[in-house]
């Protein structure tokens, strides 16, 4: 930073912090739903959607009652979807893309046609890789992804049209190209910032999304079927999570202005980049690594309990007092994504010789909620969320942490595009909530009287 600018910022920072402080009690005083959350933690109802449903509680006589977690895509429980893919021994992410975009399950001919189209579109436009990725690498792949999405505007013959046909065309292109953008952004980062050899592999139209990701990021292109299956499952489980999650809501807010698709989707990428949203799985994995380093016996639940208590007391790990990977804004009794991913995590742990580590994760999952309730003085149920096991899964696949959130984006772009299309077609009204001003009136003073 320029020295003069740095000195000026140092001088003015206390003023900035003072004038931007609002007493937390003011939110209660004016009945403001901070973070668009009700007092019981549930989200404020701001819209309607037919795309996804996140269920964690029921209302009984006006009170919120906990219920088993369910995630529903276009009316179909994600558990049923996953069980169907697993029983038939096939990849499911592309079918989920079709379901979320078109609202129906495809038959074999429809799915084959859709898969072939995605395969043909995975290659980036001529010159894009060299000019937009390799010539301008970024130390953060999410930043590179957002810039790649915005750059796509310049390669589109009709970038601004919000006609339904154009929206669908742009959505399918982005869904197909996100894995390639992420993989090339990762290779550029590894080369220019990590000093590693540069590997740019061409995507293969005959491979699934999960297979292509592993093919593109690994120097030797090799992967096992079980590795691709568990990555496919992770993509399926991250593809959609209702209209209220931060990044999808960001996409809908921006889309309500009738701006172009690339502006809306890049805004969603920027939202997901935040550690409170898409980066949470890295936090969970880092915390669990820290616990492993400070607990001598991974099977000793009392030793794990003692260290988790230190974390809650802000004496260990990042001293934030949080047990990452446990608890969710909606799910209480169970997070269906975590339940499904945990099953596959156990399988991959056995394959990779990491079952001892997996059992340690299970122990933390068992002890953590009890520690939380004791420290908070509550009987509230909390469960492991999808972030608890996703970091372990990615690490077992040899995927570096800097790719965790970009892979989340590869999956969630499907939900973003589906919600953008629904927003533009259905709502046709700009999203514009209100903020109440609580500033005190001040008198203007001439310069010589200040």
- Contact in structure between 301 and 367 (CB atoms under 8 Å): yes
Q: Which of 17, 22, 35 is nearest to 438 (CA)?
A: 22
328 is catalytic: yes
Helix axes 209-217, 404-422, angle to 10 degrees: 140
Inter-axis angle of helices 164-192 and 108-121, nearest 10: 50
Q: Is the dihedral of CA 377, 382, 386, 391 positive or negative?
A: positive
217/185 Cα distance (integer angstroms): 10
Residues 6+ apart with CB under 8 A from 446: none
Q: How many C-beta atoms surround the C-beta of residue 18 within 10 A?
A: 8
Output phi, psi for 275, to 5 deg. Answer: -65, -20
CA dist 326 → 194, 266, 364, 365 (Å): 33, 29, 10, 8
Catalytic residue among 328, 335, 395, 419: 328
Are the CB atoms for 268 and 248 separated by under 8 Å?
Answer: yes
Burial group, residue 32, by CB count within 10 angstroms (0-12, 13-18, 19+): middle
The catalytic position among 232, 260, 335, 387 is 387
156 belongs to the catalytic site: no
Point out the residues that are catalytic: 328, 387
């Amino acid at each position: 930073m320029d020295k003069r600018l740095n000195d000026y910022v140092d001088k003015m920072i206390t003023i900035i912090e003072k004038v931007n402080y609002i007493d937390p009690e003011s939110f209660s005083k004016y009945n403001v739903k901070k973070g668009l959350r009700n007092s019981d933690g549930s989200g404020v109802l701001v819209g309607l959607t037919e795309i996804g449903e996140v269920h964690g509680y029921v209302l009984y006589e006006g009170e919120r009652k906990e219920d088993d977690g369910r995630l529903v895509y276009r009316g179909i429980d994600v558990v049923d979807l996953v069980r169907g893919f697993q029983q038939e021994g096939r990849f499911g992410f592309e079918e989920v893309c079709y379901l979320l975009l078109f609202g129906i399950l495809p038959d074999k001919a429809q799915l084959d046609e859709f898969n072939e189209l995605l395969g043909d579109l995975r290659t980036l436009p001529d010159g894009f890789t060299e000019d937009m990725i390799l010539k301008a690498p970024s130390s953060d792949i999410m930043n590179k992804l957002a810039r790649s999405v915005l750059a796509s505007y310049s390669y589109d013959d009709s970038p601004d049209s919000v006609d339904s046909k154009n929206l669908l065309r742009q959505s399918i292109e982005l869904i197909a190209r996100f894995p390639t953008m992420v993989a090339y952004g990762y290779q550029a980062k590894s080369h220019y910032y990590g000093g590693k050899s540069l590997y740019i592999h061409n995507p293969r139209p005959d491979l699934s999304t999960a297979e292509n990701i592993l093919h593109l990021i690994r120097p030797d292109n090799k992967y096992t079927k079980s590795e691709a299956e568990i990555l496919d499952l992770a993509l399926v489980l991250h593809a959609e999570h209702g209209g209220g999650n931060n990044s999808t809501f960001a996409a809908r807010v921006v889309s309500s202005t009738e701006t172009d698709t690339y502006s809306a989707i890049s805004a969603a990428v920027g939202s997901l980049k935040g550690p409170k949203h898409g980066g949470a799985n890295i936090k969970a994995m880092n915390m669990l690594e820290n616990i492993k380093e400070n607990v001598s016996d991974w099977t000793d639940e009392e030793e794990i309990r003692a260290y988790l208590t230190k974390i809650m007391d802000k004496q260990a790990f990042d001293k934030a007092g949080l047990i990452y990977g446990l608890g969710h804004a909606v799910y209480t009794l169970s997070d269906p994504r975590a339940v499904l991913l945990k099953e596959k995590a156990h399988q991959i742990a056995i394959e990779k010789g990491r079952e001892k580590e997996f059992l340690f994760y299970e122990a933390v999952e068992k002890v953590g909620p009890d520690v939380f309730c004791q420290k908070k003085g509550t009987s509230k149920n909390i469960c492991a969320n999808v972030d608890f096991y996703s970091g372990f899964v990615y690490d077992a696949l040899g995927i570096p942490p800097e790719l965790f959130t970009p892979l989340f984006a590869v999956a969630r772009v499907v939900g973003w595009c589906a919600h953008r299309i629904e927003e533009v077609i259905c709502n046709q009204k700009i999203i514009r909530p209100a903020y109440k001003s609580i500033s005190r009136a001040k008198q203007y003073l001439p310069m010589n009287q200040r």
